[in-house]
Amino acid sequence: MVSDIVNVTGENQMKFTVDQETCIGCGACEETCPEVFVVDDTSTVKLDDVPADLEASALEAEEGCPVDAISHT
């Protein structure tokens, strides 16, 4: 699902979130898409709006999360 948020170039952009209560900190998301995800003391999303060229990688990270802690809009 792509959000209705439109950037200045007119493209829709996805937003990703990490559920801190579900996340186990395994680092799979950061390994798959380090431009978007970072795992340290907590797992977080680096970018508010994920650029189109990183969407596929971020979606792969979401799908690869072993505990389904990542979601997007």
Predicted local distance difference test score (pLDDT) of residue 12: 74
Instruction: Return the domain boundaries, the chain.
Output: 16-72
Q: What is the pLDDT along the chain (73 residues), one digit of tens a residue?
A: 333 334 444 467 899 999 999 999 999 999 999 999 999 888 889 888 999 999 999 999 999 999 999 999 9
Predicted local distance difference test score (pLDDT) of residue 56: 97
Measured CA to CA, the distance from residue 61 to residue 27 in angstroms comes to 10
| Rg of the chain on CA atoms, in Å | 12
Is the pTM higher than 0.85? The answer reads no
Residue 29 gets the label, from left (phi > 0), alpha (psi -120 to 50) or beta, of: alpha
On the CB side of 64, how many CA atoms lie within 13 Å of its CA?
15
Measured CA to CA, the distance from residue 6 to residue 11 in angstroms comes to 5
Class for domain 16-72, per CATH?
alpha beta
